Amino acid sequence: PADTRPHPIADWQIFEAEYAAASDAFKSYLARELAVYQGLEFELPEPYRIADNANGSDADRQRIQKLANNKWIGDLLLALVDTYGAKSAAQLENIEIVNLLATLRGGGLYKEADELAAEIMLQAAGRLSLVDPSALWVAPPVDMQLVFP
């Protein structure tokens, strides 16, 4: 079936402006966000795609890809735990996030990939809130009236 998910970044010009004005901590968060989107197989403009730096051996990558393609889920999960299990989500490099999420989706584990992506983004947002508390805060439009209970 065709992928009908709306793209999480609707306007790349706005994203580029936010990225250009962002603090270093917020840029790291945005890079993590892009890694998650790429891992979830959303199309990104070339300048924002994370290039595969061939972490790990080709044999391991081919083995994991074969397990995903053949939908051998039990063996796939064991291989992923062997490859990524020693690291927390915060310790994963962006390319590892891309590969991990794409592999889960390739194995038909869409819900699990989405849940892992949400966990990765939640942890990244938590870390960002400690070093740059106002980075994710967006002021409401001037003409909007806030109503509190």
Cα→Cα distances 91→36, 57, 147, Å? 14, 19, 40
Are the C-beta atoms of 25 and 128 separated by less than 8 Å? yes
Say if residue 37 is exposed, middle or buried (CB neighbours under 10 Å; 0-12, 13-18, 19+): buried
Render pLDDT for 1-53 as a digit per residue (tens, 0 to 9).
557 788 899 899 999 999 999 999 999 999 999 999 999 999 999 989 988 76
pLDDT tens sequence across 95-106: 999 999 999 999
The residue assigned the tokens 């994963």 is: 92
Pairwise CA distance, residues 102 & 95, whole Å: 11
pLDDT per residue as tens digits for the range 46-87: 989 988 765 567 788 888 989 998 889 999 999 999 988 999
